[in-house]
Amino acid sequence: MTKGSKMVDPVTLWPTRPVSRSVKDDGASATRTGTISAREIVTGQSLPKLVNLATELAKAGPPVDFAKIALVRQAIAQGAYSIDVDRIAHAMVGFFRTTD
């Protein structure tokens, strides 16, 4: 790496391309749909809503398919769960090729 070069792009708080002005945001949509408008985020009015949302998500826990977990555990216990190592290896190689 050369002196003065950057490894990553700088992070900014502003969009890198112009935002469409065709839709007027008056903040009314936030109360109608339950979403948070950009105006609320900028002015800090959304903090209580975000705290409530975070609390609800924490109470709900992660999305887990317990039925699928039970099926996999049963297959492992019966010795019927086969692992396709070639498929796993190809998926890993494909993942790392696309992340460069």
Q: What is the pLDDT of residues 84-95, one digit of tens each?
A: 999 999 999 998
Q: Quick one: pLDDT at residue 70?
A: 92
> Looking at residue 49, what DSSP letter applies?
H
Give the pLDDT confidence of 11-38 residue by residue, as tens digits.
Answer: 555 555 554 544 454 544 444 445 666 6
Structural domain boundaries enclosing 92 = 64-100
Q: Quick one: pLDDT at residue 42?
A: 60
The pTM score is 0.34
The sign of the torsion formed by the CA atoms of 8, 9, 10, 12 equals negative
Our CA angle for 35, 32, 20, nearest 5°, is 60
11 belongs to a structural domain: no
Please state the domain count of the chain: 2
**Same-domain pairing of 57 and 82:** no
